């Protein structure tokens, strides 16, 4: 189930690429309507089956709002990274998030910073530099906006994870996901003021948008959440890294996008950093 969830997430770049290429909308507009569509569908699904799951304590609303803002930032920077860097590079760069979470845990909560974490951080930094082609003579380097967008996805995803630690054991995952996307829509609402509704929508972008919500977003979260019943968190993280393989395969077959040799080496280093961190977590869990 965790691998299938990664396969769902791996389709994200395909759908976003098709929508932004064929529909005259900005990355901000797409992020907003993705949040709105997901929140509405979750409200219908959860409200119909188990309406009590929509109840949360007032003291937890700021944490849910922080997660929603992080999710909004994640989707905006993700859309920008997809269009600037291509699907394979954008997917790999977001996996710097575990490194940032480990660093924030050390700074905020004085979590131990072991040699494994230091080695993982070094691998992630080196891998990101190779993906951006920094200092490689004769290679076409990523643009500064593209690099910032790619790292922005990691920062947003990392902050989402940190805020989510507060509520992970207090509510159903469906409750958290609904409020995250609802607050994400509210956070992005000011960016839509003065913009016309993205209508009419051509059939192909409409189909891609529907698949982005149902398959990529809700389907991916549903499968990943279900997998956590049977896997340790560290095992789920390792399984989630397969998103890189799915995204790269889909992008090559359908978009003809491919990492070059240096970027492939960088991808190996970034993925290796995630596996190194996960191995460290598994060592301390039964």
What's the token pair of residue 76?
């905006």
What's the token pair of residue 280?
């460290």
Helix (H, G, I), strand (E, B) or coil at 156: helix
Q: Provide long-range contacts, Cβ within 8 A and 24+ apart, for 19-25.
A: 19/205, 19/208, 19/209, 19/212, 20/79, 20/82, 20/83, 22/202, 22/204, 22/205, 23/198, 23/201, 23/202, 23/205, 24/198, 25/198
Tell me the C-alpha distance between 245 and 7, whole Å.
9
Burial class (CB in 10 A: 0-12, 13-18, 19+), 48: exposed
pLDDT for residue 113? 67
pLDDT for residue 232? 63
pLDDT for residue 136? 54
pLDDT for residue 207? 94
pLDDT for residue 286? 47
**Residues of the chain under the 50 pLDDT cut:** 137-138, 286
pLDDT for residue 234? 55
At residue 23, φ and ψ (nearest 5 deg) are: -120, 130
Structure confidence by residue, pLDDT tens digits, 178-231: 999 999 999 999 999 888 777 788 889 999 999 999 999 988 878 887 776 776
**pTM value surpassing 0.85:** no
pLDDT for residue 83? 86
pLDDT for residue 233? 58
Taking every pair of C-alpha atoms in the chain, what is the biggest distance, in angstroms?
Answer: 59
pLDDT for residue 265? 85
């Amino acid at each position: 189930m965790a691998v299938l969830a990664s396969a769902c997430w791996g389709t994200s770049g395909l759908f976003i690429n098709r929508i932004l290429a064929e529909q005259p909308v900005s990355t901000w507009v797409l992020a907003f309507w993705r949040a709105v569509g997901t929140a509405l569908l979750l409200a219908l699904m959860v409200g119909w089956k188990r309406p009590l799951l929509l109840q949360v304590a007032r003291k937890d609303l700021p944490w849910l709002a922080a997660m929603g803002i992080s999710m909004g930032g994640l989707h905006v920077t993700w859309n920008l990274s997809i269009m600037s860097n291509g699907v394979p590079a954008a997917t790999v760069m977001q996996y710097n998030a575990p490194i940032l979470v480990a660093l924030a845990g050390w700074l905020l909560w004085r979590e131990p910073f072991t040699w494994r974490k230091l080695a993982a951080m070094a691998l992630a930094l080196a891998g990101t530099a190779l993906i951006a082609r920094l200092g490689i003579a004769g290679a076409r380097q990523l643009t500064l906006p593209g690099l910032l967008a790619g790292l922005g996805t990691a920062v947003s995803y990392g902050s989402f994870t940190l805020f989510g630690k507060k509520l992970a054991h207090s509510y159903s995952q469906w409750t958290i996901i609904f409020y995250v996307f609802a607050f994400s829509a509210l956070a992005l609402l000011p960016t839509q003021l003065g913009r016309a509704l993205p209508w009419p929508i051509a059939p192909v972008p409409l189909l891609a948008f529907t698949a982005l919500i149902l398959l990529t977003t809700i389907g991916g979260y549903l499968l990943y959440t279900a997998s956590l019943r049977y896997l340790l968190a560290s095992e789920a993280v390792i399984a989630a890294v397969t998103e890189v393989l799915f995204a790269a395969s889909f992008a090559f077959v359908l978009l003809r996008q491919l990492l070059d040799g240096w970027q492939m080496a960088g991808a190996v280093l970034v993925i290796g950093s995630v596996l190194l961190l996960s191995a460290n977590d598994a060592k301390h869990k039964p």
